[in-house]
């Protein structure tokens, strides 16, 4: 097909990234287009604009935060210009619920001039409570993703793709007011700087990685990737959320596809 396949993802703990790239591979196996990947996780990727041509295809994958599109993505998404290009969306969530996130993403991209022709909600390990959604996405999830990509590619290749309806409500679920919660650092920190490099908000100090400035989005990248398990959250709100997830969200949820 003519045009470019743009793969965009925001993925502090790398599950949305994996889904985005697998979806891109699946689409491109059928469509054979030049592909450009853009990582919106870090400021350099988030600050760029993108002006699509009508023949282009955009894949957008993101983690669900509080049943919504992460607030951090509002400005980067406002810099996309669809100009009639086709979009395929993947919302990635931690086995609780994706609530209104897929609808919000579809609305945002439609407003930016894309035709959203396929969307899916996929499950990954919950970054706040890793025992919830543990081992996801697994082989069955990846098979569902491959099937989704195959069906989306067939729809696109068949001609002018039609817009879809996805699950969700307007007005969207309320966002909780932002509170200033930051991770703490244990004495076992070796100053390896892995957390500094992996922080999407660049709030961990290069001079002393135990110092975290205001602006943490609680994405858990620093917690997940610290080889010493030295970064942690010990606030009451995190403990309450983890307890709720571990008691109420263990029943396996399945991918939902909208085509």
Ligand X SMILES: Cc1cc2nc3c(=O)[nH]c(=O)nc-3n(C[C@H](O)[C@H](O)[C@H](O)COP(=O)(O)O)c2cc1C
Among 12, 93, 10, 126, smallest CA distance to 59 is for 10
Binding to ligand X, residues 180-239 (CB under 6 A):
218-220
Binding to ligand X, residues 114-143 (CB under 6 A):
124-128
Contacting range for ligand SF4; rule: CB under 6 A; set: 72-80, 144-152, 222-230, 249-257: 222-230
What binding mask, one character per residue, do residues 180-199 give for ligand SF4 by CB under 6 A, x or -?
Answer: ---x-x---xxxxxxx---x
Residue from 42, 66, 107, 146 in contact with ligand X (CB under 6 A): 66
Sheet strands (E) in the chain: 5-9, 35-39, 50-51, 57-63, 80-81, 86-93, 115-123, 184-185, 231-232, 256-258
Sheet strands (E) in 3-72: 5-9, 35-39, 50-51, 57-63
Distance between CA 118 and CA 147 in Å, rounded?
12
* Residue 129 within binding range of ligand SF4, rule CB under 6 A: no
Output 30 or 181, the one with its CB closest to ligand X: 181
228 binds, among ligand SF4, ligand X, none (CB under 5 to 8 A by kind): ligand SF4
Contacting range for ligand SF4; rule: CB under 6 A; set: 20-28, 142-150, 208-216, 235-243: 208-216
13 binds, among ligand SF4, ligand X, none (CB under 5 to 8 A by kind): ligand X
Contacting range for ligand SF4; rule: CB under 6 A; set: 66-74, 118-126, 143-151, 227-235: 227-235
Query: Residue 30, CB half-sphere, CA atoms under 13 Å: how many?
Result: 19
CB contact set of 10 (below 8 Å; sequence gap of 6+): 16, 39, 40, 41, 46, 61, 62, 63, 70, 72, 73, 76, 200
State the DSSP code for 159. Answer: S
Binding to ligand X, residues 10-39 (CB under 6 A):
11-16
CA distances from 259 to 61, 153, 239 (A): 16, 11, 38
Output 153 or 219, the one with its CB closest to ligand X: 219
* Residue 72 within binding range of ligand X, rule CB under 6 A: no
* Residue 17 within binding range of ligand SF4, rule CB under 6 A: no
* Residue 145 within binding range of ligand X, rule CB under 6 A: no
- In contact, 88 and 59? CB cutoff 8 Å: yes
Exposure string of 3-29, with b = 16+ CB inside 10 Å and e = fewer, is bbbbbbbbbbbbbbbbbbbbbbebbbe
Output 22 or 124, the one with its CB closest to ligand X: 124
Task: State the nearest-atom distance from the C-beta of 191 to ligand X, in Å.
Answer: 24
By CB under 6 A, name the binding residues for ligand SF4: 12, 183, 185, 189-195, 199-201, 203-204, 209, 212, 216-222, 226, 228, 230-231
């Amino acid at each position: 097909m003519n045009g470019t396949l743009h793969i965009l993802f925001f993925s502090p703990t790398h599950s949305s990234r994996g889904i985005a790239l697998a979806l891109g591979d699946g689409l491109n196996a059928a469509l054979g287009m030049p592909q450009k990947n853009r990582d919106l996780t870090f400021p350099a990727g988030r600050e760029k604009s993108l002006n699509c041509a009508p023949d282009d295809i955009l894949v957008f994958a993101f983690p669900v935060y509080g049943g919504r599109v992460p607030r951090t993505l509002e400005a980067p998404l406002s810099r996309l210009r669809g100009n009639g290009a086709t979009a395929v969306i993947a919302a990635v969530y931690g086995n609780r619920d994706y609530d209104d996130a897929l609808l919000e993403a579809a609305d945002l991209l439609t407003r930016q001039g894309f035709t959203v022709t396929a969307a899916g909600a996929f499950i990954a390990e919950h970054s706040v409570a890793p025992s919830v959604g543990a081992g996801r996405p697994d082989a069955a999830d990846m098979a569902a993703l491959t099937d989704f990509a195959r069906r989306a590619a067939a729809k696109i290749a068949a001609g002018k793709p039609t817009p879809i309806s996805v699950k969700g409500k307007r007005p969207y679920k309320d966002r909780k007011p932002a509170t200033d919660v930051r991770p703490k650092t244990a004495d076992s920190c070796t100053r390896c700087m892995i957390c500094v490099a992996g922080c999407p908000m660049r709030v961990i100090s290069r001079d002393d990685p135990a110092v975290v400035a205001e602006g943490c989005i609680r994405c858990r990248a620093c917690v997940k990737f610290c080889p010493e398990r030295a970064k942690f959250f010990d606030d009451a709100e995190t403990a309450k959320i983890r307890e709720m997830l571990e008691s109420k969200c263990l029943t396996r949820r399945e991918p939902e596809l909208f085509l």
